[in-house]
Amino acid sequence: MWKTRLKEYGQKGLPMGLRLFLLLTLFLSSIILGVLLILFTAGIFKSVLLIHKPVLEGELNHITDSVSKSFGKLSVQAVELAEELSLSIEQNINKYGGSISNLQEYPELLEYLLNEELDMLMGALEKSRASGAFIILDATVNPNLPGAENSRSCIYLKNMEPNIINEMSANVRYYTGPMTIARNNEIHVLPQWQMEMDATSFPYFEKVITTSRKQKLPLSRLYKWSE
């Protein structure tokens, strides 16, 4: 059927409506190209760019400074939180005659230690408006399980809406940790929940632990620089 129509167009020519549409399209395209050519020739685009360039550079510098200050503030809060957590965990384990240096010898205390620090971790997460906060203990509940050498007892909280204005309504989810803690504190659990953290998912974990064991400096004097 379409072959027949093509033959008819070849004999009778294009319909008047199609001709007008093509002519109008060609006419408008010519006008647009002409206007663009005039603007480029007159240097209008370049002038507009020169006018707005300082404004854009100033806005970019403002954003850069804001991000830098936010990360600096977050780093300070993280160091303070780490110091408070370390002191609190050490005090709690000392109640049972244990030591933070041989934490793996007390697997039955790991859940207790994590639960005691939950409120502090939750408060720090809501205050900082970070996307997540976690505690990792250098020990595992069951060292006899396959892959236990890379498994670490942990609580990992994720803030699903870190930029909300009202901090009291933070949308916190439970990503990693003992299920009993989440249930007792009525924290919603993510579908990707894990009992413990796989240390291989944190490539820097072992390096940080090894460095902290070798150094005698306090936590506030230990830093990890990233490129």
Low-confidence winner among 84-98, 161-175, 195-209 (lowest mean pLDDT): 161-175
pLDDT of residue 6: 47
> What mean pLDDT, rounded, does the chain reach?
79
The region that residue 13 occupies, defined by phi over 0 for left and psi between -120 and 50 for alpha, beta otherwise, is: left
Both 114 and 26 in one domain: the answer is no
Both 36 and 81 in one domain: the answer is no
Q: Which two tokens stand for residue 101?
A: 């240096």
CA-derived radius of gyration, the chain: 32
pLDDT of residue 155: 94
b/e 118-133 (16+ beta carbons within 10 angstroms → b): beebbebbbebbbeeb
Question: Looking at the 3D structure of the chain, how many domains does it have?
Answer: 2
Residues in the chain: 227
Question: Does residue 129 belong to any structural domain of this protein?
Answer: yes
pLDDT over threshold 50, residue 126: yes
CA distances in angstroms from 112 to 65, 83, 105, 106, 197, listed in the order given: 41, 19, 14, 11, 17
Question: Does residue 63 belong to any structural domain of this protein?
Answer: no
CB–CB of 93/108 below 8 Å? no
Both 21 and 89 in one domain: the answer is no
Percent of the chain with pLDDT over 70: 76
Question: Does residue 227 belong to any structural domain of this protein?
Answer: no
pLDDT over threshold 60, residue 14: no
DSSP state of 164: -
pLDDT over threshold 50, residue 2: no
Question: Does residue 53 belong to any structural domain of this protein?
Answer: no
Both 15 and 80 in one domain: the answer is no
Considering the entire predicted model, what is its pTM? 0.67
Question: Does residue 50 belong to any structural domain of this protein?
Answer: no
Domain residues for the domain of 122 are: 76-221
pLDDT, one tens digit per residue, over 148-177 is 888 899 999 998 877 765 555 568 899 999
